[in-house]
Structures are given as C-alpha cells and as structure tokens.
Amino acid sequence: MSTSMALIAASCQQALFKVNSVLPPPLYAAPRCPPPAPLHLRSLQIHRALEDLQCTSTSASALIRLFETAQGRLQSVIHTSYERARGELAAITGARELEDFTVALQARFTSDYDTAAQRLKGELLERVRLALQCASGCSEERGNFSAEVVELLERA
C-alpha cells in the first residue's frame, strides 16, 4: 500500500512541476524588507572616572569588567528590540514609510540606549563613591576599599 502511495505522490509532484514551468512569472514580486540599518550605539568608558576616584588596579579591573558586561547586555537588548520593532513595521507598511519609520526608530532606540547607559555608569560610580566613603569613615586600617568593592560586586 505504501508503494502505491509513493507512486501517486511522485506523479503528483511531477505534474505540479510541469504546471509551474508552464505558468508565467508573477506580475510583481512580494516586497522584501531591506535589512535594517545598524544602530550606532557608542560604548561608554569608566576608566578615567575610576582613576579619579583613586581605585586600586584590582578594583578598577573588576569594575570595568562588570560595567562592560552590563553595557554589552544593554546593547544586545536594544538591538533586539529595534530589529523586532522594525520587523513589525515592515509587515504593515510600504517601503517608503518604512524608511521614515526606521529613521524615527533609530533615533528613539539610540536615545533610550544613551539614557540607560549613562544611568548605568552613574549608578555604578555612585556605589563606588559610597563604598569609598564607608571605607574611609570606618577605620584607618580599612583604608583600602577593595574588599568593600568586591563585596558590592558579589551582591550585584
């Protein structure tokens, strides 16, 4: 029984191939969504700010890695959200409208990223300042705040 079904399926497939080769090409091709223009998200640096706060090299290295990881995740989320929003717009708009919307989307997502990255940087540096204040106010022998910063990193 399965052999006869396979023969029927093969015959149908051959007939459909012949029909498709005889038909004229479609009058218009379905519009294709052009690839999204990339977002240009600038990476912030905290090296100088940590030097200004007189962080030890060990603490500064750990904080820089933490900040770069968080910033990379933020960039990834922004890129994914931008591409998803642009894809949804492409499904319901024409090519010309999509170009206009893309410019607006780029401006919005870039602005959102800049705001979030600055806030991330500010909050991290504020926590370092607080750890420094606590370390300098607690006692003289605990003047090196790396233990407090490491504790802060472990909690984050």
pLDDT in tens, 37-90: 788 999 999 999 999 999 999 999 999 999 999 999 999 999 999 999 998 888
Lowest mean pLDDT among 50-59, 96-105, 120-129, 140-149: 140-149
* Tokens at 55, concatenated: 């962080």
* Tokens at 36, concatenated: 């999204």
Assess contact for 143 and 135: CB atoms under 8 A.
Answer: yes
Q: What is the pLDDT of residues 124-133, one digit of tens each?
A: 999 999 988 8
Task: State the CB neighbour count (10 A cutoff) for residue 148.
Answer: 19
53 DSSP 8-state letter: T
Q: Residues of the chain with pLDDT > 70: what percent?
A: 83
The number of folded domains in the chain is 1
Domain of residue 49, residue span: 4-154
